[in-house]
């Protein structure tokens, strides 16, 4: 046997020729923190309580409750995801809240993003 073949045999026996990068095993299909989201109804409770205080709602969303509901009704068909047997999607209200908060946060950080945000809102209003 050649020396290369011997080295390969010894490496195989020692388990050195297995996968070079073992795949990372996923621990959860849905993380327990996210799986309790529906049963805890955190967003629903937060949203319903927030709507009781219009001035706080305006500070958080930068729009009135009526404006939020009008915007939601316009975009609901586009942002609502299909319910599957695997999992339930987040609600349209929650999806819009995350989007608005994301845009508001990053719009305050950079002027370049402010320009992009204005363009995005104009495109968003076309729907």
Range of the domain at 122: 41-127
Q: Own/partner pairs for 120-127, CB < 8 Å, 24+ apart?
A: 124/75, 127/74, 127/75, 127/78
Q: Residue 104: which residues within 8 A CB-CB, separation 6 or more?
A: 62
> In this structure, what token pair is assigned to residue 60?
């958080």
Nearest residue to 98 (alpha-carbon basis) of 60, 125, 59, 41: 60
pLDDT at position 76 is 92
Q: With 0.85 as the threshold, say if the pTM is over it.
A: no
Query: 71 falls in which pLDDT band (50, 70, 90)?
Result: very high
How many separate domains does the chain show? 1
Q: Is 20 part of any domain?
A: no
pLDDT at position 68 is 94
pLDDT at 36 over 60: yes
């Amino acid at each position: 046997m050649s020396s290369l073949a011997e080295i390969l045999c010894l490496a195989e026996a020692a388990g050195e020729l297995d996968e070079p990068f073992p795949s990372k095993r996923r621990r959860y299909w849905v993380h327990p923190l996210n799986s309790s989201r529906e049963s805890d109804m955190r967003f629903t409770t937060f949203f319903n309580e927030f709507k009781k205080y219009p001035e706080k709602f305006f500070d958080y969303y930068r729009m009135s409750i009526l404006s939020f509901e009008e915007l939601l009704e316009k975009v609901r068909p586009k942002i609502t995801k299909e319910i599957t047997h695997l999992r339930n999607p987040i609600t349209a209200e929650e999806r819009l809240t995350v989007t608005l908060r994301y845009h508001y946060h990053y719009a305050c950080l950079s002027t370049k993003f402010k320009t992009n945000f204005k363009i995005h809102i104009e495109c968003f209003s076309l729907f």
